[in-house]
Chains A and B, each alone.
Chain A
Amino acid sequence: MLSRTADHLFWMARYMERAENTARMLDVNYQASLLPQAADAAEKGWKGLLGISELTGDFAKHYGAVTPDNVMHYMVSDAANGSSIRNCLQAARENARAVRGTLTTEVWETQNQTWLEFQRMVANDSFLRDPSSMFEWVKFRSHLSRGVTVGTMLQDEAFHFLRIGSFLERADNTARLLDVKFHAVESEYYGGTNGSSGSGKDIEVDFYHWSGILRSVSGFEVYRKAYRNVIRPEKVAELLILRPDMPRSLAACMQEVVTNLKMVANEQSADTLRRAGRLQADLQYGRIDEILATGLHAYLTQFLDRVGTLGVGISRDFLVPVAA
């Protein structure tokens, strides 16, 4: 297939996935803000969210005060924010439009309709009256987008590049979420020797913090099922990093990336495949106690670097037209 086409497909899937993950994080923060909590704790949640997307500075420049409405407006409908859900959905749609002939009619119509409906939903910021239903909608449009891809597209190269885009983006987003959420806690609750200190209040705070992370990746019920235990931070980390059966974990994402990369391999992609395979092997054979011993933040930073390098490699080997 055309390199340019593969590029558009890859980015279409990435932007859709990014929109979904942004909606997930916003929703969890919004839900948390409905719980009784100190003002600074609530603000911290919203700040953390901006930090995940590396937007703290840009937000401060344009909005000033970190309030739920400000952050939600900025992250949902602000056309000036390149990472807003609005811009992700538009970019997904524009990429789809550029290659609509490669997509099935259903896939294209899904992308197009998502964009058209979204514009109606965010007109006048009316979504702020019930943000959760908007976030839910974004999530379901993303489910639909993936589902209609899997359900209607020929499993050829186009399909594989879509999948690579989805899972590379998801790996990146899950890693960022973990990093920020663990970082936030380390200073107060998790920085010590062996997890939470045990007082009733702390356990309660912990529960909402960790269950919030789990919920943001639809992992709360999964956690209970997998561990049949109280919510423990190291188990949360294990679930989201190493469990190959958890669909949003780093291990599961990299497994998908590797599988699909193998299907499109070409003469110059050996090194990119090697890197992807190695990253996946590290996850497959990693242990959570080792990871925590070296430091979660360092581990995740390195992971994000490696995912970034992988993206560059994929782009060079497949997507950006190579000189004749």
Chain B
Amino acid sequence: MRPAFDEMRANSDTVREHYRGYDRWLAQQPVDVMLSRREEAEVIFRRVGITFAVYGAKDEDGHGNERLIPFDLIPRVIPSHEWVEMEKGLAQRVAALNRFIHDVYHDQEIIKAGHVPAEQILKNAQFRPEMMGVDVPGGIYSHISGIDIIRAANPDGSGGYYVLEDNLRVPSGVSYMLEDRKMMMRLFPELFSQHRVAPVAHYPDLLLETLRSVAPPSVNEPTVVVLTPGMHNSAYFEHAFLAQQMGIELVEGQDLFVKDNFVYMRTTQGPKRVDVIYRRVDDDFLDPEAFRKDSTLGCAGLLRAYRAGNVTLSNAIGTGVADDKSIYPYVPKMIEFYLGEKPILNNVPTYLCREAEDLKYVMANLHELVVKEVHGAGGYGMLIGPAATKAEIEDFRKAVMANPSGYIAQPTLSLSTCPTYVDSGIAPRHIDLRPFVLSGKEVQMVPGGLTRVALKEGSLVVNSSQGGGTKDTWVLEA
């Protein structure tokens, strides 16, 4: 494994050009000032209630299972020309993914053309036969896509961006992106007068515009709502935050009902029709009539109303078929197939354990690979070979052999690092990036995204549920 690419320093003496201004500024800051800023940030996050819930956890201070996501003071900086390329690549990738989902639920040309094996799609647990032949407004399925990107060192020492994962169901984290920026501007206003940092605060506006643009065509002034599983959900803060920022209702399943295939919410002035639902509830729980019978988070009859074209769900039902880890290796082919273009963003090379050749290679090289459960999320169900014990590797070997098609493997690309405040001072920690791509009448995004950082030394797991933190992400304007 090559040494990780550091975002800030080319080597111990040289700071990369786009970090020089920040580095000069940082060198002038007294240590105690930075420490007190750090405490201030924590107090403010606590007061504002920017928390997430850890399932099953409980703490002593009476905050229940609400936790703060650690926020790091040192921003992740992306130079303008890199973002310009990435933005093009993201728009291209998401466009192809949307075409793919439409194809899967209509003519399945990509299967007929032999690019993706039929059973990979049709037998996928995320494939929803209920969606076959259903037309959605504009043919757009994934209106909000979170594309996880990492940077790894190339042999020549430069850093290359790779897409690690597509999140097309209910990607979260955008509220931290917005709050991190707010916090940075509050703590260090002078930094923003010294740097031309592209703003991100208009994201909720773009989101609302996107949601309105995919309303059922017959509706002139669509009523848009956010559907949340409720305040005990880990991302409740974000649901409430986005609803508030967009000025729309935050509803729970119990607030909705379906009558004559139209969706209504119960209000103090009687029932009111709902046209677009930005749902933060998984497919399985959306409609007890169609999916899980025991769900109390959804609304009975929602699928009927949806299939009748009387309400838009965002994201659409069944997008999971395209962000599954077993479909991921085929995305570059999709881009060529649907758009006739060369992929701008690279995939990480991926071995499919379901293929005999690949399985053999994976079994022989477990200690060097990252092995992932195809349906896993949040960093669970994952083996990081170089960091694992012999016993862990052997356990995984058995698990993979028992169900090869449930796993993929990738070379251990060392995520790039960025200087980060830790107990002992400032040290490099691994980071990734999740830009949020909005697809409605057009594809839009705000510059940058959410940078997550693995706070444990050497750790490559950036998920907040496993000790990850966040950083403000700066795209410097040219």
Measured CB to CB, the residues of A under 8 A from B are 1-6, 94, 97-102, 105, 108-109, 112-113, 116, 119, 157, 161, 264, 266-267, 318-319, 321-322, 324
The interface residues of chain A lying within 8 Å CB-to-CB of B360 are none
CB atoms of A267 and B270 under 8 A apart: yes
Residues of A within 8 A of B250 (CB): 5, 99, 101-102
Q: Which of B62, B244, B252 contacts A4 (CB 8 A)?
A: B252
Are the CB atoms of B47 and A112 closer together than 8 Å? Answer: yes
B66 closest partner in A (C-beta): A97
Task: Identify which of B252, B266, B270 gathers the most chain A CB atoms within 10 Å of its CB.
Answer: B266
* B441 shortest CB reach to chain A, Å: 26
A3:B244 contact, CB within 8 angstroms: no
Q: Are B244 and A112 in contact (CB under 8 A)?
A: no
B49 within 8 Å of A (CB atoms): yes
Q: Do A100 and B240 touch (CB < 8 A)?
A: yes
Q: Select B268's contact among A98, A99, A109, A157, beta carbons within 8 Å.
A: A157
On chain A, the residues within 8 Å of B269 by CB distance are 1, 266
Asked if A324 and B46 make an inter-chain contact with CB atoms under 8 angstroms apart, the answer reads: no
Docked-complex contact A321 and B266, CB < 8 angstroms:
yes
Complex Cα spacing A44 to B49, Å: 42
Chain B positions within 8 Å of A319 at CB level: 268
Most buried by B among A4, A97, A102, A318: A4
In the complex, are the beta carbons of A112 and B48 less than 8 A apart? yes
For the complex, what is the distance from the CA of A31 to the CA of B264, rounded to whole Å?
Answer: 54
Q: Smallest distance from the beta carbon of A19 to chain B beta carbons, Å?
A: 16
Residue in A1, A2, A264, A321 with the greatest tally of chain B CB atoms within 10 Å: A2
A5, A105, A267, A322: the one within 8 Å of B249 (CB):
A5
Prevailing SS type, chain A contact patch: helix
Does A102 lie within 8 Å of B252, measured CB to CB? no
Chain B min CB distance to A105 (Å):
7
**Cα of A251 to Cα of B259 in the assembled complex, Å:** 44
Measured CB to CB, the closest approach of chain B to A58, in angstroms, equals 22
- The answer to whether residues A3 and B255 also contact, given A101-B240, A318-B268, A322-B266 and a CB cut-off of 8 A, is yes
One digit per residue, 1 when the CB lies within 8 angstroms of any chain A CB and 0 when it does not, for chain B 258-300 equals 0100001111111100000000000000000000000000000
- Distance in angstroms from B308 CB to nearest chain A CB is 17
Asked if B454 is at the interface of the complex by the 8 Å CB criterion, the answer is no
Report the minimal beta-carbon distance from B149 to chain A, rounded to whole angstroms.
30
Q: Are A113 and B47 in contact (CB under 8 A)?
A: yes
A119 and B255 CA atoms in complex are apart in Å by 33
9 tightest CB-CB pairs across the interface, nearest first? A101-B244, A101-B243, A101-B240, A321-B266, A324-B257, A101-B250, A318-B268, A100-B240, A112-B49
B11: min CB distance to chain A, Å: 44
Which residues of chain A are within 8 angstroms of B259 by Cβ–Cβ distance? Answer: 324
In the bound complex, residues from chain B placing their C-beta under 8 Å from that of A5 are 249-250
Among candidates B49, B62, B243, residue contacting A108 with C-beta atoms closer than 8 Å = B49
B105 within 8 A of A: no
Interface string of B226-259 (1 = CB under 8 A from A): 1000010000000111011000011110110101
In the complex the two chains form, what is the Cα distance from A94 to B62 in whole Å? 12
B357 within 8 A of A: no
Tell me the bound Cα distance from A323 to B94 in angstroms: 41
Residues of B within 8 A of A97 (CB): 49, 231, 240
B457 within 8 A of A: no
Query: Considering the chains assembled together, what is the distance between the CA atoms of A3 and B241 in angstroms?
Result: 20
13 A–B contacts from the bound complex (CB under 8 Å) = A1-B249, A3-B267, A3-B268, A5-B250, A100-B240, A101-B240, A101-B241, A101-B243, A101-B250, A108-B49, A264-B268, A318-B268, A324-B264
Once the chains are docked, how many angstroms separate the CA of A245 from the CA of B11? 74
Q: Tell me the chain B residues, 100-147 only, with Cβ under 8 Å from chain A.
A: none
Q: How far is the CA of A98 from the CA of B46 in the complex (A)?
A: 16
Tell me the complex Cα distance, A107–B61, Å.
Answer: 23
For the complex, give the distance between the alpha carbons of A215 and B250 in Å.
Answer: 42
Within the complex, the shortest CB–CB distance from A80 to chain B, in Å, comes to 14
Contact status A2-B265, CB under 8 Å: yes
The complex places the Cα of A6 from the Cα of B266 at a distance, in Å, of: 11
B331–chain A nearest beta-carbon distance, Å: 35
Contact in complex: B266, A116 (CB < 8 Å): no
Residue of B47, B49, B239, B244 with most partner-chain A CB within 10 A: B49
B245 to A, closest residue via Cβ: A101
* A100–B268 CA distance with the chains assembled, in angstroms: 18
Q: A102 contacts which chain B residues (CB < 8 A)?
A: 244, 250
B44-85: which have CB < 8 Å to A? 46-49, 61-62
In the complex, the answer to whether A321 meets B255 with C-beta atoms within 8 Å is yes
Please give me the residue from chain B that is nearest to A86 by CB atom. Answer: B62
Residues of B within 8 A of A157 (CB): 268
A266 touches B49 (CB 8 A): no
**9 additional contacts (CB under 8 A) given A2-B265, A100-B49, A324-B264:** A2-B249, A3-B267, A101-B244, A102-B250, A105-B48, A108-B48, A109-B47, A266-B269, A322-B266
A2-B267 in contact given A109-B48, A112-B47, A321-B255 (Cβ < 8 Å): yes
Cα distance A319–B184 in the bound complex, in angstroms: 40
